[in-house]
């Protein structure tokens, strides 16, 4: 038998598989099981109720908006952090992780305080007739905040490994800056961008703490799906909560599958014969 560097492989394999089963697979299975305890008709009635549909709508649209924003801003931030040396760069770099570290409720409260109509930002925006707190825009901002690190942190290492000679080669062949970015840099960043995108989107779908403070939580307009699940739980309607949760679960699965497939496509050049 081949000797492994780390001893006790069968034991550690067993322990980790057991742990993954216990912590990840079992709860998900329980969720599906609970949802399945409803009959098909009840299940369909709950997941397609007007209030549930409205919550999917606001959750998915806000998540899309936030992810798209982070795609541009996160890429720009990663670019600046990797390509420029400026005073305070390391502080900015460290602050990118803050949304990971901060309790999301804290983020929610501070965002609400800022964007409420009497807050620092909110009062200025209010003069232009823009309302952020207690609107879908507020949900989007909360989502942007909590999911910002994903794109930055997935793109950064790839950007760092990017051989500067590739850009120089493209320049020497007569490429303009925009052409080099679009035809050389962007395709090479695409797999990392997609990975960051899917993580960011998944996080937005499931975000709860940061949003409920700023969203206003009006059923049919600013009530996110995660909150609706929570409300059903509070009403001891476990089956309904599980049913709605299963929709989120499916969406997340589908999203990961699609991005994995796109990533594989974008990476096909690395395949050897």
Partner 1 sequence: MKIRLDHVVKTFETFRAVRDVSLTIESGELVALLGPSGSGKTTILRMVAGLEYADGGHIYFGDQDATDIPVRDRGVGFVFQHYALFPHMTVAENIAFGMKVSKVKREKAAIDARVAELLRLVRLEGLGDRFPAQISGGQRQRVALARALAVDPKVLLLDEPFGALDANVRRDLRRWLREIHSELGITTLFVTHDQEEALDLADRVVILKDGHIVQQGTPEEVCRDPQSSFVMKFLGDANVIAAEVRDGKAYASGAAIEVSGLADGKAELYARPADLDWSLQGPGIPASITRVLDRPDGRRVLATAETGEHLEFDVEPERTVKAGDGGFVTLRRAKVFAIG
| Chain positions contacting partner 1, by CB under 8 A | 163, 165-166, 168-176, 179, 183-184, 187-188, 266, 269-273
Report the residue number, 118 or 270, with the smaller CB distance to partner 1. 270
How near is the Cβ of 78 to partner 1 at its closest, in Å? 19
Contacts of 17 (CB under 8 A, 6+ apart): none
How near is the Cβ of 153 to partner 1 at its closest, in Å? 22
Report the residue number, 6 or 271, with the smaller CB distance to partner 1. 271
- CA–CA separation, 202 and 249 (whole Å): 10
How near is the Cβ of 209 to partner 1 at its closest, in Å? 39
Report the residue number, 118 or 273, with the smaller CB distance to partner 1. 273
Report the residue number, 128 or 178, with the smaller CB distance to partner 1. 178
- CA–CA separation, 37 and 239 (whole Å): 7
Report the residue number, 27 or 157, with the smaller CB distance to partner 1. 157
How near is the Cβ of 167 to partner 1 at its closest, in Å? 9
How near is the Cβ of 176 to partner 1 at its closest, in Å? 7
């Amino acid at each position: 038998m081949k000797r492994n560097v780390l001893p006790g492989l069968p034991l550690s394999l067993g322990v980790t598989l057991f742990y993954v089963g216990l912590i990840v697979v079992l709860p998900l299975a329980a969720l599906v099981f609970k949802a399945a305890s409803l009959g098909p008709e009840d299940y369909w009635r709950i997941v397609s109720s007007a209030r549930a549909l409205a919550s999917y709508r606001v959750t998915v649209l806000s998540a899309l908006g936030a992810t798209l924003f982070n795609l541009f801003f996160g890429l720009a931030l990663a670019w600046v952090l990797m390509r420029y040396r400026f005073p305070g760069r390391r502080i900015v770099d460290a602050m990118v992780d803050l949304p990971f570290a901060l309790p999301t409720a804290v983020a929610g409260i501070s965002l609400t305080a800022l964007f409420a109509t009497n807050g620092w930002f909110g009062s200025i925006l209010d003069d232009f007739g823009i309302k952020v707190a207690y609107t879908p825009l507020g949900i989007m901002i909360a989502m942007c905040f909590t999911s910002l690190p994903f794109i930055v942190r997935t793109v950064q290492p790839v950007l760092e490994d990017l051989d500067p000679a590739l850009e120089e080669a493209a320049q020497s062949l007569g490429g303009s800056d925009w052409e080099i970015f679009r035809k050389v840099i962007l395709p090479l960043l695409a797999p990392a961008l997609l990975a960051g995108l899917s993580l960011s989107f998944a996080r937005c779908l499931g975000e709860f703490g940061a949003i409920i403070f700023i969203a206003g939580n009006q059923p049919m307009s600013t009530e996110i799906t995660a909150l609706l699940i929570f409300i059903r739980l509070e009403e001891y309607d476990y089956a309904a909560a599980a049913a709605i949760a299963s929709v989120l679960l499916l969406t997340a699965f589908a999203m990961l599958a699609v991005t994995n497939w796109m990533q594989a496509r974008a990476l096909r050049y690395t395949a050897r014969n």
